[in-house]
């Protein structure tokens, strides 16, 4: 029967080389016996259409051959939970590291804002590369574990030898009121923190990133910023660096759920220092004229008004932060008092 | 196929998978080649596709539960399978397990 021969030939192509002759011989014997049975039932040879129906019922050659193959997973169920965990961690850390790198490198090397956009657009390809490498490593592990199970040690956390005492302690909410940060939220804060730092560092060389087209108006205006703004700028940079270091440390130590009270106080104290410097500056000069001799008569009053407004604004901001600081300190003292009281 | 039909089909296949292996092992206490084994199972109400049965026989042989030999019968070379001594021990254990599960299910059904 030509059709059966063609069918078996097609099956053979998908079988493992070492066993294909043996499998095909067996399959042929079984199918020929079945064919004989069918034809003796019909008392005539099967028509081409009947043969096609019969073979169609058995299945496509590739599927029939696949049943003879050893079942192989790219990443099997035994290591999939570990793979999934490692994949998420690798991608989160890749995102953090990439953000740090672009936040540091771009302000040093870039000459225009498009580099920031290009760096951001590269994020998906970076993440896909990391995911591909993690998948390749785990696929290799699966391959080795399937062929040499006796040589593969059980994966920690998935074997029966784990100890319940190794479970991490319960994650407590520090004051019972505020909801703790989730892990993705903590990671997102770090990523955006680094991106913000990069943007901040671009400002001195490229004021366009903060002022937009207004920078051209500012450059052509008769005004200029006083020098103390440079000190203020670097204080803001320092505050962001401290925050990022603290957040990274929290993430590495596994304590990202809630900022320590001391951290919250530090975040209020650090900006107070440059703000106090600003409000105590001599004569409250924040904006000055580029050419006083030429423009004093025309723009002198405008400069005075601007300086008074900025001073008032700075006073309000300082007062708000000082009140928040006092509140934090009060809460800290109250918590300490309650703990102290409970222990006696 | 609707979602519920699809779920039923998946669960039915899962349920049948172990039972088919057990039935094949029981049937191979007597020697058979692939096609007659399939016919015997079908005659007993257990239809099984060629593409499932023949690879299953190979797998069980690789696991040492079956032994096979090529022999000529009715002018055609055929591969005959039967239970090995390891297969007999395994079959006893599996039958015991199957009976225990069956009894448990029946008890659970009776208590409803």
Which residues from B are below 8 Å from A34, CB to CB? 35, 50
Contacts of A271 (CB under 8 A, 6+ apart): A235, A236, A239, A321
Predicted confidence pLDDT, tens digits, chain A (344 residues) = 789 999 999 999 999 888 899 999 999 999 999 998 888 888 898 899 999 999 999 999 999 998 888 777 888 888 888 899 889 888 888 888 887 777 777 766 665 667 777 777 888 898 999 999 999 999 998 888 877 777 776 665 566 666 777 776 665 555 555 566 777 778 888 888 888 888 888 888 777 777 777 777 777 888 888 888 888 888 888 888 888 888 888 877 777 776 667 777 887 788 888 888 888 888 888 888 888 878 777 778 888 888 888 888 888 888 888 888 888 888 888 878 877 777 66
Contacts of A184 (CB under 8 A, 6+ apart): A92
Helix A114-121 / helix A123-147 crossing angle, nearest 10 deg = 20
Give the residue among A71, A68, A84, A85 at the shortest CA–CA distance from A146: A71
By CB atoms closer than 10 A (0-12, 13-18, 19+), residue B62 is: exposed
Which of B53, B54, B63, B72 is the best mutation test for A, with the most CBs of A within 10 A? B54
C-alpha B112/C-alpha B106 separation (Å) is 10
Alpha-carbon distance A33 to nearest alpha carbon in chain B (angstroms) = 7
Q: What are phi and psi of A149, to 5 degrees?
A: -60, -30
pLDDT at A229: 84
pLDDT at A153: 67
Give the residue among A272, A289, A259 at the shortest CA–CA distance from A326: A272
- Give the closest of A27, A32, A63 to B76, CB-based: A32
pLDDT mean across residues, chain B: 92
The ipTM is 0.80
Which residues from A are below 8 Å from B50, CB to CB? 30-31, 34, 58, 64
Cβ contact B51–A58 (<8 Å): yes
Instruction: Please give the C-alpha separations between residue B95 and each of B25, B40, B48, B62, in angstroms, as whole numbers.
Output: 10, 19, 20, 21
Residue spans per domain, chain B = 3-110
What is the CATH class of B3-110? Answer: mainly alpha
Residue B77, strand partner residues: B72
Cβ contact A67–B77 (<8 Å): no
Query: In terms of CA atoms, which chain A residue is nearest residue B75?
Result: A29
**pLDDT, average across residues B8-21:** 90
pLDDT at A179: 62
pLDDT reading at B73 higher than 60: yes
Q: Which of residues 69-108 of B touch A (CB under 8 A)?
A: 76-79
Give the CB-side neighbour count of residue B39, counting CA atoms within 13 A: 12
Angle at A59 between CA A73 and CA B39, to 5 degrees: 105
Alpha-carbon distance A75 to nearest alpha carbon in chain B (angstroms) = 21
Which residues from A are below 8 Å from B78, CB to CB? 26, 29-30, 33
Alpha-carbon distance B39 to nearest alpha carbon in chain A (angstroms) = 9
Alpha-carbon distance B38 to nearest alpha carbon in chain A (angstroms) = 10
Cβ contact A59–B49 (<8 Å): yes
Instruction: Please give the C-alpha separations between residue A222 and each of A229, A289, A298, A299, A311, in angstroms, as whole numbers.
Output: 18, 6, 10, 8, 20
Parallel/antiparallel/unpaired status of strands B76-83 and B66-73 = antiparallel
- Is pLDDT larger for residue B25 or for residue A241? B25
Rg over alpha carbons for chain A, rounded to the nearest Å, is 36
Query: In terms of CA atoms, which chain A residue is nearest residue B33?
Result: A30
Other CB atoms within 10 A of residue A35 CB: 17
Which residues from B are below 8 Å from A29, CB to CB? 33-35, 76-79
Cβ contact B35–A34 (<8 Å): yes
Helix/strand/coil percent split, chain B, to 5: 65, 15, 20
By CB atoms closer than 10 A (0-12, 13-18, 19+), residue A64 is: buried
**A26, two tokens:** 């067996």
For residue B25, name the pLDDT band (cuts at 50, 70, 90): very high
pLDDT at A10: 94
Rg over alpha carbons for chain B, rounded to the nearest Å, is 16
């Amino acid at each position: 029967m030509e059709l059966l021969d063609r069918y078996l030939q097609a099956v053979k192509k998908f079988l493992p080389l070492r066993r294909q002759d043996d499998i095909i011989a067996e399959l042929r014997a079984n199918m020929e016996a079945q064919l004989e049975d069918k034809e003796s039932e019909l008392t005539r040879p099967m028509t081409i259409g009947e043969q096609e129906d019969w073979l169609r019922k058995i299945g496509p050659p590739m599927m029939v051959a696949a049943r003879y193959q050893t079942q192989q997973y790219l990443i099997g169920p035994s290591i999939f939970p570990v793979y999934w965990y490692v994949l998420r961690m690798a991608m989160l850390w890749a995102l953090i590291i990439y953000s740090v790198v672009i936040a540091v490198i771009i302000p040093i090397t870039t000459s225009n804002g498009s580099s920031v956009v290009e760096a951001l657009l590269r994020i998906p390809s970076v993440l896909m590369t990391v995911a591909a490498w993690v998948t390749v490593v785990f696929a290799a592990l699966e391959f080795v574990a399937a062929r040499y199970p006796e040589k593969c040690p059980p994966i920690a956390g998935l074997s029966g030898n784990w100890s319940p005492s190794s479970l991490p302690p319960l994650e407590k909410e520090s004051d019972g009121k505020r909801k703790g940060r989730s892990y993705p939220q903590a990671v997102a804060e770090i990523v955006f923190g680094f991106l913000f730092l990069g943007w901040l560092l671009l400002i001195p060389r490229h004021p366009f990133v903060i002022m937009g087209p207004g920078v051209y108006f500012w450059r052509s205006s008769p005004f200029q910023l006083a020098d103390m703004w440079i000190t203020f700028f670097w204080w803001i940079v320092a505050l962001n660096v401290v925050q990022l270091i603290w957040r990274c440390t929290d993430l590495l130590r596994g304590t990202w759920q809630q900022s320590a009270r001391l951290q919250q106080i530090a975040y209020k104290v650090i900006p107070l220092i440059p703000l106090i410097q600003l409000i105590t500056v001599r004569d409250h000069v924040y904006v000055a004229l580029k050419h006083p001799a030429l423009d004093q008569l025309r723009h002198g009053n405008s400069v005075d008004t601007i300086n008074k407004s900025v001073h008032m604004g700075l006073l309000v901001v300082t007062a708000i932060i000082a009140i928040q600081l006092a509140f934090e300190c009060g809460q800290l003292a109250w918590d300490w008092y309650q703990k102290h009281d409970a222990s006696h | 196929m609707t979602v519920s039909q699809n779920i039923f089909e998946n669960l039915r296949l899962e349920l049948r998978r172990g039972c088919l292996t057990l039935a094949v092992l029981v049937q191979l206490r007597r020697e058979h080649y692939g096609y007659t084994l399939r016919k015997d199972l079908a005659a007993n109400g257990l239809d099984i596709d060629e593409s499932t049965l023949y690879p299953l026989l190979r797998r069980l042989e690789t696991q040492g539960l079956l032994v096979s030999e090529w022999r000529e019968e009715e002018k055609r070379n055929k591969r005959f399978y039967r239970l090995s001594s390891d297969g007999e021990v395994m079959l006893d254990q599996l039958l015991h397990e199957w009976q225990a599960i069956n009894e448990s299910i029946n008890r659970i059904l009776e208590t409803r």
